[in-house]
Amino acid sequence: MDSDKLEQYRPETEHRRSFFSLRWLVVILASYLTLFSHLSSANFPVLFVFMLLFAATNVAIVFVPTAWFSSSSGQRAISICDLFFVTITFYLLRIPGTYLYLAFILIFALAVIWSELKVVLFSLLVVSVLFGLFNYFRIQQFEFAVNMEQFLTLSLFFVVSMFYVFLSRQLKRDARLSMDVLEEKRNAEIMVEITRGLSSSLKTQDVLRVVGNRLREVLDAVECSIIGIDPKTGDAAEMVRTQGSESSDRKVDLAAVPELKEAYDGRKMIFRDVGEQSVAVVPMIAQDNVLGLIYVIGRNTGRPVSERTIRFFEIMASTAANALRNAQLFEEVEHRARTDFLTGLPNHRYFQATLSAELGRAQRHSHPLSLLIIDLDYLKIVNDRFGHPSGDMVIRAVAETIRLGCRDFDFAARYGGEEFTVILPETPLPGAILVADRIREKIAQVEFAGIGRITASVGVSNFPLNALSKEDLIRAADQALYIAKNGGRDRVAYFNYQLVGK
Ligand code: GH3
Ligand code: MG
């Protein structure tokens, strides 16, 4: 069954259709009885009108919303309406006055209200046996005057009511079964879709958003959020929230929401009804760590949580947890791949990629962009005199000084060895020279114990003043650095516009 047909096929509607057919059967049988046994009686017009009214109720049910029809109160209301019609019909048929009628009404009432077939069958058996005995021995002192025609009429009604009860039970069960099958199928489809969504993205936020959104849709939930938990610190933060557009790293105090705390501490799912709402909390566990909690708030339907829902959540949470773990590992690997191990600054490759992107943006918007290349002066001497670890320590400290000397949207990287670069977006040459000189000054101010002070030379280049392409921009900064070194070091040099023109 493809998804289009799936949408059209609704077990509730099927159930409803069968129920109509059954009621029409009652109408036809009752009309048949009325016509043949009371065609000439004075009650015939009234009986006829009653049959029409009963038929009209069947038509009216067509307009009742399916949700109301399927609810137990809806079904009970329809049953009581039927009971009312049957009682009036019996009254008009002049059958009352016998114990049999009362017994029948009782049985019918039991049948329609509790839909209990066994009770109906048993009572029917008892009543039939009693009726047969009374009729056979003609025990007239009980004033039990029932003729054969009435007996047949009643029998037919018994059969119809039995049929009614039996079929309506069967239909209800069928509807439930098809609903179960459809729900299983829907869950399986959703799982496939979620798994596909998860495997197509390795970004943690994307992974979580896929899970959150699909879960909210499937469960028809009011809100679904995913709370990430740091396995080391136990700090919880809301990573994805499906309601509204806000997706924040909002801190969450697990202790403040009892369901969250219980699910986290006990590593188990929590399903709880809180007033109008029902709350579900499902821990996402991978490799024995609770990576997060799926927190779903839905409408309280009054129904207990089904085994199926629990199983669905279980598979969902473990798939999401593994995908989340993979995404986290991938992000970690990716971060390492673009970070310089010694300084923690972005490495050369990341710098190249960022410069391409920033230069592209500067070209598109015709904004200036400046580049600094910073080279430590005489680091070789430090290495030679104090050893490589001391040189490393100096490089690390200078990296930190450069990082702190930049604005948030500047991009500082380790170019290689004892060379650093800083990309300064939206910065004209004079501004870049100021930044470069400030960084140079800060580096020179640091006193290294046992080593003394280390200075740095800085070359500055600018788009579009000195170069239009990435390679030229780097080359221009390099040449400016050469000028700074030649000029005596511990200074900033920029590539002269006239020099470029030569
Ligand atoms: P200047 O740049 O002022 O001309 O002198 P310098 O001594 O800094 O320049 P040179 O290019 O001659 O040497 C660079 C030195 O930087 C060589 C190497 O020992 C040192 N160096 C490069 N990378 C590292 C590193 O990762 N750790 C340490 N300790 N030293 C490094
Ligand atoms: Mg150097």
Q: Angle at the Cα of 48 (from 104 to 68), degrees rounded to 5?
A: 65
Query: Are 117 and 227 contained in the same domain?
Result: no
**Where is average pLDDT lowest: 92-96, 357-361, 396-400, 455-459?**
92-96
Q: Report which protein residue has its CA nearest ligand 1's atom 5.
A: 378
Query: Are 251 and 359 contained in the same domain?
Result: no
Phi/psi at 317 (nearest 5 deg)?
A: -65, -40
pLDDT for the residue 275: 78
Ligand 1: centre distance to CA 417 (Å) = 6
Ligand 1 atom, smallest distance to 416 CA: 23
Cβ-contact 414, 342 below 8 angstroms: yes
Question: Which uninterrupted H or E stretch holds 251?
Answer: strand 250-252
Amino acid at 404: L
Cβ-contact 291, 321 below 8 angstroms: yes
Ligand 2: centre distance to CA 493 (Å) = 15
The answer to whether position 131 is within a domain reads: yes
The answer to whether position 339 is within a domain reads: no
For residue 374, give the CATH number of its domain: 3.30.70.270
Confidence of residue 45 (pLDDT cuts 50, 70, 90): confident
Q: 376 in ligand 1 pocket by Cβ < 6 Å?
A: yes
Calculate the average pLDDT of the chain. Answer: 78
pLDDT for the residue 328: 80
Query: Are 400 and 448 contained in the same domain?
Result: yes
Q: 388 in ligand 1 pocket by Cβ < 6 Å?
A: yes
Active site residue 7: no
- Domain boundary, last residue among 334, 363, 396: 334
pLDDT for the residue 344: 94
pLDDT for the residue 290: 87
pLDDT for the residue 498: 37
**Where is average pLDDT lowest: 33-37, 306-310, 451-455, 464-468?**
33-37
The answer to whether position 493 is within a domain reads: yes
For the record, the structure tokens of 275 come out as 């007033």
Is the Cα dihedral 290, 294, 300, 303 positive or negative? negative
pLDDT for the residue 289: 84
pLDDT for the residue 154: 62
Q: 221 in ligand 1 pocket by Cβ < 6 Å?
A: no
Query: Are 439 and 292 contained in the same domain?
Result: no
- On the question of pLDDT at 323 being above 60, the answer is yes
The answer to whether position 480 is within a domain reads: yes
Query: Are 245 and 107 contained in the same domain?
Result: no
The answer to whether position 200 is within a domain reads: no
Task: Give the residue-averaged pLDDT of 228-233.
Answer: 80
- Taking alpha carbons only, the member of 289, 130, 312, 147 closest to residue 218 is 312
Ligand 1 atom, smallest distance to 375 CA: 2
pLDDT for the residue 3: 40
What is the domain range of residue 168? 3-178
For residue 418, the ligand closest to its alpha carbon is: 1
Query: Are 325 and 385 contained in the same domain?
Result: no
Q: Give me the count of residues in the chain.
A: 502
Query: Are 372 and 283 contained in the same domain?
Result: no
| pLDDT tens, position by position, 255-275 | 888 888 889 888 888 888 877
Q: Report which protein residue has its CA nearest ligand 1's atom 18.
A: 380
Q: 392 in ligand 1 pocket by Cβ < 6 Å?
A: yes
Find where tokens 């977006």 sit. Answer: 425
Q: 375 in ligand 1 pocket by Cβ < 6 Å?
A: yes
- On the question of pLDDT at 502 being above 60, the answer is no
- DSSP character string of 286-327: ETTEEEEEEEEEEE--SPPPPHHHHHHHHHHHHHHHHHHHHH
Task: Give the residue-averaged pLDDT of 134-150.
Answer: 53
> Using CA atoms, how far apart are residues 272 and 278, in angstroms rounded to an integer?
6
Task: Give the residue-averaged pLDDT of 217-221.
Answer: 72
Higher pLDDT, residue 115 or 223: 223
Ligand 2: centre distance to CA 395 (Å) = 11
Ligand 2: centre distance to CA 467 (Å) = 24
For residue 417, the ligand closest to its alpha carbon is: 1
Task: Give the residue-averaged pLDDT of 285-294.
Answer: 86
Q: Report which protein residue has its CA nearest ligand 1's atom 26.
A: 417
Q: 261 in ligand 1 pocket by Cβ < 6 Å?
A: no
- On the question of pLDDT at 1 being above 60, the answer is no
- Domain boundary, last residue among 334, 359, 386: 334
- On the question of pLDDT at 62 being above 80, the answer is no
- On the question of pLDDT at 199 being above 90, the answer is no
Confidence of residue 156 (pLDDT cuts 50, 70, 90): low
The answer to whether position 79 is within a domain reads: yes
**Where is average pLDDT lowest: 98-107, 135-144, 231-240, 454-463?**
135-144
Ligand 1 atom, smallest distance to 489 CA: 3
Query: Are 448 and 480 contained in the same domain?
Result: yes
- On the question of pLDDT at 198 being above 80, the answer is no
Query: Are 278 and 401 contained in the same domain?
Result: no
- Domain boundary, last residue among 309, 334, 359: 334
Q: 396 in ligand 1 pocket by Cβ < 6 Å?
A: no
DSSP bridge pairs for 459: 373, 493
Cβ-contact 435, 450 below 8 angstroms: no
For residue 489, the ligand closest to its alpha carbon is: 1
- On the question of pLDDT at 43 being above 90, the answer is no
- Count: domains in the chain: 3
The answer to whether position 166 is within a domain reads: yes
Q: Report which protein residue has its CA nearest ligand 1's atom 23.
A: 417
Asked if the peptide bond before residue 464 counts as cis, ω within 30 degrees of 0, the response is yes
Ligand 1: centre distance to CA 351 (Å) = 20
Confidence of residue 332 (pLDDT cuts 50, 70, 90): confident
pLDDT for the residue 130: 60
Query: Are 371 and 324 contained in the same domain?
Result: no
Confidence of residue 370 (pLDDT cuts 50, 70, 90): very high
Q: 391 in ligand 1 pocket by Cβ < 6 Å?
A: yes
Give a three-class secondary structure readout of 175-189: HHHHHHHHHHHHHHH
Confidence of residue 176 (pLDDT cuts 50, 70, 90): confident
For residue 388, the ligand closest to its alpha carbon is: 1
| pLDDT tens, position by position, 414-453 | 999 999 999 999 999 999 999 999 999 999 999 998 899 9
Query: Are 354 and 321 contained in the same domain?
Result: no
pLDDT for the residue 136: 55
Query: Are 16 and 81 contained in the same domain?
Result: yes
How far is C-alpha 397 from the chain's CA centre?
Answer: 46
pTM of the model: 0.57
Q: 379 in ligand 1 pocket by Cβ < 6 Å?
A: yes
Confidence of residue 46 (pLDDT cuts 50, 70, 90): confident
Ligand 1: centre distance to CA 455 (Å) = 13
Eight-class DSSP state of 254 = G
For residue 229, give the CATH number of its domain: 3.30.450.40
Ligand 2: centre distance to CA 345 (Å) = 18
The answer to whether position 232 is within a domain reads: yes
User: Which residue among the candidates 238, 259, 358, 418 is catalytic per the annotation?
Assistant: 418
Ligand 1 atom, smallest distance to 457 CA: 3
